Amino acid sequence: MLSRAQFDQLADAVGAQRVHQPTDAWNRLRTHITPGAPVHRLIARPARATRPATRPRPERQRVEPRVVTHLELRAARRLSARLDALAARVRPDAVHALRIQYEGIAALGTTLPLAVSTWGSDLIVTGRSDPRLGAATRAVLRRADVLFSDCARDVDLANRYGLRAETATAVVPGNFGVPLERFPAPDPALPLRFGLRQAPLVVYPRGVRGFVNHTGFLAAARELVADGVDASFLGVGIDAVAGAEAEIAGRIRCTGQLPLTTMLDVAAASAVTVSPSLADGIPNSVLEGMAGGAIPVCGPLESLRELEHDGAVMVWCDAYDTASIASAVRTALQLAADPANRERNRTLIAERYSTRSALHRVARAYGILVPH
């Protein structure tokens, strides 16, 4: 393992690179790997690495996507040189890039064994968004010795992108597993903390993103409230401006991003989790809701069909259509009223998608990457 000092040294060396969504995966897993496991030292990108304030990144809304891609690829090349210099000093056994764009691209030049993770829309959208980014993505997958993906669909896509036949793969959803040990007991009064009436809680946890229909959720919530449906609706990651017109006192509330501990409180208390996404992997927030017994409402994406195949109780909707989302939420609330359905989802997460259940798959893959 890297020592704390070595980990901090890595953070200082690669601080210019932008932090992407699940960069806490290794920090979480390292606490579960027991002495004697086949992983001795790994180089991983730290969660604390940030871009210095003196070099602000242009806002995406104001910059052409191709310009942003060019800047990101240049940053990855600069990071690559720093990574090589650090590897020469630390002499790690392997490098794990926790995302292809852009950590994996930065690690292309290393001669060390390389593990790469994919998440969400890395391959289904991002890798196709720009020819240069697509070429770099294919190069990373051809170089990878181990591939971790949050859904089986991405392993299939990686093969089409040129993943070598001998590359080991592991499907590990939920940011390397849902941390059930951190889940609180469900609090029926949790809606009151958000100014909502105490009723079955319907949660939209996805924020404002281009590939998730948050406006459809808010419109569906207003439709259901108008129809007298007994539920409270919470939109997480939807700021006051975006959600102001949709809010109804005591019934619909929008809030900004919440700390992980609060999100786990919300997940444990929710009856329904709504994720009307147009492109996705298997979202952590959907799995966390299911860990609390929630019934997910999702767009019928190939990646999410994997949950249904594993036995999840869930409801499909047309993510583009408000009426379809509203109808699916009605059905999900009816399913959530049956404790057996909620327990079925809890059990599925514990057996297949928890950190504990994922650990053996991760350890096996690391054992291939860094053999005894």
pLDDT band at 126 (very low <50, low <70, confident <90, very high): low
Write out pLDDT tens, residues 136-179: 899 999 999 999 999 999 999 999 999 999 999 999 987 788 99
pTM: 0.78
- Residue 183's pLDDT is 92
- The model's pLDDT over 259-274, given as tens digits with 9 standing for 90+, comes to 999 999 999 999 999 9
Element (H, E) at 149: strand 146-149
* Pairwise pLDDT comparison (240 vs 230), residue with the higher score: 230
Neighbours of 219 (CB within 10 A): 17
The span from the CA of 55 to the CA of 191, in Å, is 41
What is the average pLDDT across 331-348? 98
Confidence of residue 4 (pLDDT cuts 50, 70, 90): very low
pLDDT at 23: 42
pLDDT on residue 119: 84
Q: What pLDDT score was predicted for residue 85?
A: 85
Pairwise pLDDT comparison (317 vs 368), residue with the higher score: 317
pLDDT tens column, 92-109: 999 999 888 888 988 988
Please, which pLDDT band fits residue 349 given cuts at 50, 70 and 90? very high
- Specify the amino acid at residue 252: I
Q: What is the pLDDT of residue 320?
A: 93
| pLDDT tops 70 at residue 46 | no
Asked whether the predicted pLDDT for residue 235 surpasses 70, the reply is yes
pLDDT band at 47 (very low <50, low <70, confident <90, very high): very low
> Do the Cβ atoms of 95 and 369 come closer than 8 Å?
no
The tens digit of pLDDT for each residue in 251-305 reads 999 999 999 999 999 999 999 999 999 888 899 999 999 999 999 999 999 999 9
pLDDT at 41 over 60: no
* Cβ-contact 275, 294 below 8 angstroms: no
Residue 33 CA to residue 362 CA, distance in Å, equals: 10
Per-residue confidence (pLDDT) for residue 66, from 0 to 100:
55
Could you tell me how many helices (H) and strands (E) the chain has, helices first?
A: 16, 11
Q: Delineate the domains of the chain, giving CATH numbers in brackets.
A: 4-177+355-369 (3.40.50), 181-352 (3.40.50.2000)
What is the per-residue pLDDT for 19?
A: 31
Q: What is the pLDDT of residue 134?
A: 86
- pLDDT (tens digit, 9 = 90+) per residue, 53-73? 444 443 334 444 554 565 677
pLDDT, residue 369, reads: 87
Position 128 scores a pLDDT of: 66
- Asked which of 194-208, 260-274, 355-369 is least confident by mean pLDDT, the reply is 355-369
Parallel, antiparallel, or unpaired: how do β-strands 43-44 and 315-316 relate? unpaired
Largest CA distance in the chain: 65
Is the model's pLDDT at 13 over the cut of 60?
Answer: no
| 16-29: average pLDDT | 40
Task: Give the confidence band of 372 by pLDDT, cuts at 50, 70, 90.
Answer: low
Q: How crowded is residue 209: how many other Cβ atoms within 10 Å of its Cβ? A: 15
